Structure formats: C-alpha cells, structure tokens
C-alpha cells in the first residue's frame, strides 16, 4: 500500500489512495446491475456489464489501480478531449467561430438545437461539436488518422493504444444520427470536408481502445497546465489547458454535467463505453470504467465511484 501527500488548504495530509479506491470498488460494483451497456453501437452491446476498474495516476508518477483497471475498453466520447486538444493546438481561439462553449442541456446526439442554432453546435463535446472538430483536424493535419493515434500514444506513454476498426465500422453502419448531424451542419456550411470523410474520422477516433491506467496517464497534461509530466512536453498553453478543463466541467457529461459537477466537483469527460476520466489540478487524474450506463449515457457505477472519491478524500477543485 502506498500513501501520497496531498496539499489541502494549508494542511499537508496523507491519504492511502489504494485503500480508498479498493473500498470504493467494493461499494459501487453492485450498481452495474442497474445500468445498461450502450447497444446502439452493435459492436459494444456484448460487453460484460459486470466490470469495474479504477485507476488513479498522480503527477509525481504513482499509479494506484483496482478491479479491471488493465482491461482495454472503447473510450468513445472521451476521445473528444484528444480531438479538441489537436484542433485547439492548430487553430487556437479561431475554433470558436464554428462552435460554442455553452452546455447544451440536450442529449449528446440531439438534432433539435442544431437546427435552431443554424448548424453551430453548442460545445465541442456533444456529437455535433466533435464532428466540427473532426472536420477541423482533417483540414489541418495531413495524416489526421496517424497523427491522432501518435498523439494519444505519446500523452499516455502507451505504444499499444490503437483504434478498433470493427467498432468504427459497426458504428459507421448504424450511425444514422451522427450522419444526420453532419449533413445538417454541411447544409449550413459548417462542415468543410466531404461528410463521409468527417464521419469516418469521427467514428475512428471514438473507437480508440485504452485501459484505465493509460487513460488516466493521458489526461495528466490537463492537470499540469498543459505539460505532460513524464516527458516535459508542452501540449497546450496553461491558458488553453484551463479553458479545456472549464469546458469539461460545464459540458463533459452532456446533460448530466450539472449533476456531475454537484456530486463530484471535478472536470471530467465520459464516453458511452462506460469510461469517465476526471482531473484534480496539480495533483492527479482518475479514470473509472464500468460499462453499464444510466439514462444519460454515462457510467452508473463510474459517477458514484468518483463522487465517493472526492467525498472520502475531501479533495476536489472546490
């Protein structure tokens, strides 16, 4: 068992992270029986819902894990954070000419708002926003597919991270809503590349498979003013990292973002594969994976685990 030092207020306290996540694992695991795996992507519907992995990765390079923390899973919308990072790096604040920064209050794949708001998605984490980001990446990166993968391998320190082409194909064959979003935006001039190319890239990005240990590590640059702590590489400026974290707080869990902020108190991003990653600035990142989802498409046990983590440790951003 390892203990780490965490600064809370003016007081240096020591917490036994491993003990805490093992306790949380045992407490929230039964909840997976009450959720439902994402079945609208056929390749995901056979995932065993009764799984839970938790990994905490500290900035000073300590890793704590429990349960299925080394099992690769489909990161789905968590990948939108990597996509946004690449687009933001390339274009800076110009990206906000094509999408907003407001919570949508609607489902991640909703079409309703997009028509009223003339093809400008509310934020980069709903599907419409991520499709615009994919379009920007295709325009700005010559070898987009390879460059995204290299980026994720680099920030996670895991050279085995890869796309799952079967999952991408499966979603491509059934992704009618995403196609509708993309074509609607094309009609408003907010998709510049051929729609089919944008959809292909978006589905590929969503198909990335990672384990909680690699994903937690990959988010450390967001907890560290934009710098990857183990390589020293500056990915985003401190200001950009701040803004990306702010967007995760307000929009990272779709129309459950308010409830998540209230319960957990951390910037985080979820995916319909059942993963959620959250960060505590200057301290750590935590990744939870449990594939059974609630009605909003977020991991049921995952949210509960994160709420307990900030409650038991008394550390959040507030």
290 makes contact with ligand GLU (CB under 6 A)? no
Which residue among 88, 202, 207, 264 is the active-site one? 202
Query: By the 8 A CB rule, do 185 and 128 touch?
Result: yes
Residue 58 or 298 with smaller CB distance to ligand GLU? 298
178 makes contact with ligand GLU (CB under 6 A)? yes
- Of 32, 297, 303, 305, the one binding ligand GLU (CB under 6 A) is 297
Residues 6+ apart with CB under 8 A from 17: 2, 3, 4, 56, 58, 62, 64, 313
Among residues 46, 40, 89, 67, the alpha carbon closest in space to that of 236 is found at 89
Query: By the 8 A CB rule, do 288 and 276 touch?
Result: yes
Q: Is the Cα torsion angle 172, 175, 180, 186 positive or negative in sign?
A: negative
DSSP-assigned letter for residue 52:
-
134 makes contact with ligand GLU (CB under 6 A)? no
170 makes contact with ligand GLU (CB under 6 A)? no
Number of residues that bind ligand GLU (CB under 6 A): 11
Report the C-alpha gap between 19 and 25 in whole angstroms.
Answer: 10
Query: By the 8 A CB rule, do 237 and 87 touch?
Result: no
- Of 51, 68, 77, 110, the one binding ligand GLU (CB under 6 A) is 77
Residue 73 or 141 with smaller CB distance to ligand GLU? 73
**Tokens of residue 113, six digits:** 């708002």
201 makes contact with ligand GLU (CB under 6 A)? no
- Of 64, 73, 88, 108, the one binding ligand GLU (CB under 6 A) is 108
Which residue among 28, 32, 79, 80 is the active-site one? 80
The catalytic residue positions are 77, 80, 202, 254, 272
Residues at the interface with ligand GLU (CB under 6 A)? 76-77, 108-109, 127, 171, 178, 206, 271-272, 297
């Amino acid at each position: 068992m390892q203990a780490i030092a965490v600064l809370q207020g003016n007081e240096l306290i020591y917490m036994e992270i491993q003990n805490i996540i093992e306790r949380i694992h045992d407490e929230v695991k039964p909840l997976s029986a009450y959720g439902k795996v994402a079945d609208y992507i056929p390749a995901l519907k056979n995932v065993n819902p009764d799984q839970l992995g938790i990994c905490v990765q500290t900035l000073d390079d300590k890793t704590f894990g429990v349960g299925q923390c080394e099992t690769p899973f489909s990161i789905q919308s968590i990948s939108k954070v990597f996509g946004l990072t690449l687009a933001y790096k390339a274009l800076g604040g110009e990206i906000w000419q094509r999408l907003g920064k407001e919570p949508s209050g609607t489902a991640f794949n909703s079409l309703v708002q997009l028509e009223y708001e003339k093809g400008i998605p509310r934020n980069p984490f709903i599907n419409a926003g991520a499709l615009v980001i994919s379009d920007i990446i295709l325009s700005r990166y010559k070898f987009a597919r390879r460059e995204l993968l290299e980026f994720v391998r680099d920030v996670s320190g895991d050279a085995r991270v890869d796309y799952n082409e079967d999952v991408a194909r499966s979603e491509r064959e059934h992704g009618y809503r995403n196609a509708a979003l993309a074509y609607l935006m094309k009609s408003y001039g907010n998709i510049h590349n051929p729609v089919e190319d944008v959809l292909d890239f978006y589905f590929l990005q969503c198909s990335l498979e990672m384990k909680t240990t690699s994903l937690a590590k990959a988010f450390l640059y967001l907890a560290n003013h934009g710098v990857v702590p183990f390589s020293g590489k500056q990915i985003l400026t401190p200001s950009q990292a701040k803004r990306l974290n702010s967007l995760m707080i307000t929009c990272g869990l779709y129309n459950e973002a308010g409830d998540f902020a209230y319960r957990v108190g951390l910037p985080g991003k979820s995916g319909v594969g059942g993963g959620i990653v959250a960060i505590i600035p200057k301290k750590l990142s935590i990744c939870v994976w449990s594939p059974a989802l609630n009605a909003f498409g977020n991991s049921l046990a995952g949210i509960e685990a994160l709420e307990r983590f900030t409650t038991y440790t008394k550390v959040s951003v507030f």
